[in-house]
Amino acid sequence: MSIAIKAENISKAYQIGEFSTGTLTRDIERWWALLRGKEDPFLRIGETNDRSSKGGSDIVWSLKDINFDIQQGDAVGIIGRNGAGKSTLLKILSRVTTPTTGSVKVKGRIASLLEVGTGFHPELTGRENIFLNGAILGMRKHEIKKHFDAIVDFAGVERYVDTPVKRYSSGMYVRLAFAVAAHLESEILIVDEVLAVGDAEFQKKCLGKMGDVSQNEGRTVLFVSHNMGAVNQLCKKGILLKNGQLAFSDTAEKTVREYLRSEVGNGMISSKSIVGTFTDKITFKRVSINGILDSQPSVKPSEKVDIKIEGTCFKSMDAFRVNLSLYKDGIRIFTAHDTHSPYSIETGEFQKHIIIPEYLLRPGEYLISIGGHCAGYENSSMDWIFASEVFSFNIIEEWSPNNDFNGAGLINLPLI
C-alpha cells in the first residue's frame, strides 16, 4: 500500500505580540539570513507551546519536529488538548499555511473541512458554492454534476440550495460543507472538530459516511475530534499531540487510552499523580474485568461488571479503600469505592472487587482508572495511589421488553 501523506520534521513557529522583531536592524538581520538560506536567528529562542506557563520568548513553536507516514486508505484520528497543534497540523497538510521548517509530501487531491464556512463565498447560493468548491478541488463540471443530487440530499438543504449561504445557520453551513468534501472525488479527506456544530443525528451520519469513504472507497481520512468514542469508532490509527509535539502514535484504541491516562481533562487524573504518594506501602499488579485480563471484554447490559483489583501491600494499614472512576467519551460518569469492611489491609497479596450492577450502563465503550486512598476523608493529608493504566470494556446492544437500557442518556437509573 502506498504512502498518501509523509510528514518530515514539520515545525511551525508563530510570533506573539508584534509581528516585527522590534527594530529595523533586527528585521534586516532576519531578512538577510533568510535570503542566504540560513536559519532564522530569532527562531533559536522559540519555546514549546505550553499555554499554562508564561515564557520568556515571543517566538512559540505551535508544532515542533513532527514526523509520520499515513498509508493510503487509513483512517487516522488526531487528538490532544486544546492548543496542542491539531488544527495547525491540518492547515499545513491542507496547504492552507506553510511549515516554518520541514516538508509534507501528499499523493492525491485533498478535500478539507477545517472551519465553519471554509471555502464558501457568503454571497453565492448553496448550488453555486458546491460548484465553486468542486472547482477548487480540481473537479470538472460534469464530475460535480454527477454528485450534485447526492450532496444536496446528504446535507438536507434542498429547500435552501438556491439561497445565499450567508443566510444559512452554522449547522446548515457544516452540513453542506461536509457533504461537498465527502462526496467529491478527492483521495484524502481532512475533517476538523467542526462536526461538533451539527446535531447528534447528523454527526452519526457523518461518521458513517467517513467510515464508508475509508473502508469501501479506499480514501484516506484524517479526523480531529475531542469525542474519543467517535475516534475509536471511525479510526484504526491515532496520533496524539501534546504542546505541539508528537507524544504518541499507535492504534486508535491505544492512543485514546494514552490520552485519557496522561491528560487532565473532564476530571481525569494527571500524569504527575499517577505514581501515587505512597507506592512504598502498596502497589496494584493486575486488573481484570469479568475474569478477563489484557483485553477489552464485551458485557451484556443484563450482566454485572465485576472489576477485580489485585496488588501487594508492603506495610499494613488500618484504613485503605480502592476506588474506581468510570469514563465514557472522556466524561467521568461516576467514582465508586470498595465498600467491603474491614478496611484494614495486611502485608502481602490482596484483592478487591468493585461490581457495577446489571442494567446500569447503556451500550458503548467505557474506560476505568483504578486508584486507592489511605485514611479518612476528614484527613486533609490523605495519601493516594493510582494505577498507571486505563482499562476498558464494552457494553453491547441487547433488547429486552422490560428495560429501556438502549435509550438516551449516560446511565440507567431504576427510579421508583
What are the DSSP calls for 337-353, one per residue?
E--PSP--B-SEEEEEE
Give just the sign of the alpha carbon dihedral 122, 126, 131, 135: positive
Cα separation, 241 vs 116, whole angstroms: 23
pLDDT of residue 407: 59
Q: pLDDT, tens digit, for every residue of 51-74?
A: 544 444 567 788 999 999 999 989
Which domains does the chain show, CATH number per domain? 3-10+67-259 (3.40.50.300), 271-395 (2.70.50.60)
Q: Which residue stretches of the chain have pLDDT < 70?
A: 1, 15-27, 29-34, 36, 38-58, 116-118, 194-200, 261-279, 294, 329-330, 339-343, 375-389, 399-408, 414-416
The torsion region of residue 207 among left (phi > 0), alpha (psi -120 to 50) and beta comes to alpha
**AA identity, residue 339:** T
Query: Pairing relation of β-strands 47-48 and 3-15?
Result: unpaired
pLDDT of residue 137: 73
Following CA atoms 190, 193, 198, 200 in sequence, which dihedral angle do they give, to the nearest 10 degrees?
A: 100
pLDDT of residue 266: 40
pLDDT of residue 43: 60
pLDDT of residue 194: 66
